[in-house]
Amino acid sequence: MLQRAETLIVGGGVAGLATAWGLAQRGAQGVHLLERESRLGFWSSGRNAGILRTAIHAPATRQIALTSARTFADPPPELRAHAPEPLFDPIGLLLFEGHAGSPDPMWLADLQAAGAVQAGAPAEFESAYVAEGARAWWLPGAGRVQVDALIEALRGAALEAGVQIHTQAQVESLWKDGAGQVQGVHTANGERWEAERIVLAPGAWVQPFAQSLGLPFPARTTRRHLFFAVPTAAWNPEAPVIWDDAAGFYFLGTRQGELLLSLCDGDDADPDHLIADPMLARLVQRRARASLGFLGPLDWRRSLVGIRTVSEDDVPVIDRHPGQERLFWVAALGGHGVTLSLGLGPLAAEILLEPERTSPLRAALAFDHPDRQVQLVRNYAPL
């Protein structure tokens, strides 16, 4: 059966949903989103730490994050109306990094200009955590995103504006004309979609699409483990996120009263064969014994492993595919998809609807930006 869309979005994670919301904000009609799972946000967007962190080294990513953070602090009415609970808890983030004599972090000047960072830990948030990073920074506007509420808000706002969302709709292949120009997609349930714009937001499944276009996608897929535990000593789950860049470790309380911990691991992984590494459980327990003794012995509850799609320069790809008129990417959100979401949606919509405009930010988001030409093959050690 032939179906028609003005804009067809493939992928119902935060990238696809934020794009749909961005298009809805601009009054775009005929927008359809195809998600192969039976619910939205099933993959990376449903398996992450939900931290909003604007202290990001890559300037373009940081710029989108700062815009997004402002929107999280004061969401527009259409998102508020559809959010079942507040999208964001501004619990703040205490960031440790550097060593004696190391240069200032690359994000410092921008965050200072935005009034988003202060040097040192505020007295009321000083904790018994022993950091490896020599310098402490306080980011009062950072914190904890309620990702389920975010997905629900984006979905509701998009639906209200007329976007049609189709779940259990797996795209099997791109449909090209005789000149090799993509015109639409074929789905596993036998539908053929034709669209003026096709937006690929497939999370970790970028490579199968890119390969069918004859170019590797400029990003790698890497796994990250998260662990959940309950402290036995008294603690405040509303305390700030603590992120120790020098140690490669962060932790925060969840709204459910658990402690969420990560070793910031990121070794290459295949999204179709994602398995947990039992060694990481031992390492995170060792880290907790060394650094979190003030929380008492931890009662370890569960863990999960998720996948991040990371470009070499840590900048998303939001661009038209080289040589294709109708095909766009909103992908490679790395470890920032939740943080970026509310800045990314309107930006992606602008790029889709006004593809000929240029700006330094748009140049940085290009598929073939020179900083991501080299794909290093590297494994990150967990500690």
Ligand X SMILES: Cc1cc2nc3c(=O)[nH]c(=O)nc-3n(C[C@H](O)[C@H](O)[C@H](O)COP(=O)(O)OP(=O)(O)OC[C@H]3O[C@@H](n4cnc5c(N)ncnc54)[C@H](O)[C@@H]3O)c2cc1C
- Residues forming the site for ligand X (CB under 6 A): 10-16, 34-37, 42-45, 47-51, 170-171, 201-205, 224, 226, 306-308, 331, 333-339
Residue 249's H or E segment, with its range, is: strand 249-253
Rank residues 234 and 381 by Cβ distance to ligand X and give the closer one.
381
Rank residues 103 and 190 by Cβ distance to ligand X and give the closer one.
190
Residue 232: is it exposed, middle or buried by C-beta count within 10 angstroms (0-12/13-18/19+)? exposed
Rank residues 39 and 99 by Cβ distance to ligand X and give the closer one.
39
Rank residues 67 and 170 by Cβ distance to ligand X and give the closer one.
170
| Residue tagged 């276009």 (tokens) | 213
Question: 177-194: string of b/e by CB count within 10 Å (b at 16+)?
Answer: eeeeebbbbebeeebebe
User: Cβ neighbours of residue 355 under 8 Å, at least 6 residues apart?
Assistant: 320, 328
- Compute CA distances 297 → 227, 232, 304, 309, whole Å: 15, 6, 21, 34
The minimum distance between CB 284 and ligand X, in angstroms, equals 13
Rank residues 119 and 188 by Cβ distance to ligand X and give the closer one.
188
Q: What is the DSSP string of 70-121?
A: HHHHS--HHHHHH-SS-SEE---EEEEE--TTPPPPTTHHHHHHTT--EES-
Q: Is 120 left (phi over 0), alpha (psi -120 to 50) or beta?
A: left
The minimum distance between CB 11 and ligand X, in angstroms, equals 3
The minimum distance between CB 286 and ligand X, in angstroms, equals 19
The minimum distance between CB 293 and ligand X, in angstroms, equals 25
Rank residues 7 and 339 by Cβ distance to ligand X and give the closer one.
339
Rank residues 102 and 347 by Cβ distance to ligand X and give the closer one.
347
* C-alpha angle 254-258-263 in degrees, rounded to nearest 5: 85
Query: How many whole angstroms separate alpha carbon 25 and alpha carbon 81?
Result: 14
Query: How many whole angstroms separate alpha carbon 36 and alpha carbon 99?
Result: 46
The minimum distance between CB 306 and ligand X, in angstroms, equals 3
Rank residues 3 and 170 by Cβ distance to ligand X and give the closer one.
170
The minimum distance between CB 332 and ligand X, in angstroms, equals 8
The minimum distance between CB 101 and ligand X, in angstroms, equals 30
Rank residues 14 and 139 by Cβ distance to ligand X and give the closer one.
14
**319-322: long-range contacts at Cβ-Cβ below 8 A with a sequence spacing of 24 or more?**
319/351, 319/362, 319/365, 319/366, 319/367, 320/351, 320/355, 320/367, 321/182, 321/200, 321/213, 321/215, 321/367, 322/215, 322/367, 322/368
The minimum distance between CB 266 and ligand X, in angstroms, equals 9
The minimum distance between CB 269 and ligand X, in angstroms, equals 10
Rank residues 253 and 337 by Cβ distance to ligand X and give the closer one.
337
The minimum distance between CB 232 and ligand X, in angstroms, equals 25
| Residue tagged 């000149």 (tokens) | 179
Query: How many whole angstroms separate alpha carbon 155 and alpha carbon 20?
Result: 8
Query: How many whole angstroms separate alpha carbon 350 and alpha carbon 115?
Result: 27
Q: What radius of gyration, in Å, describes the C-alpha atoms of the chain? A: 21
Please name which of 210, 204, 238, 234 lies closest in space to residue 331, comparing C-alpha atoms. 204
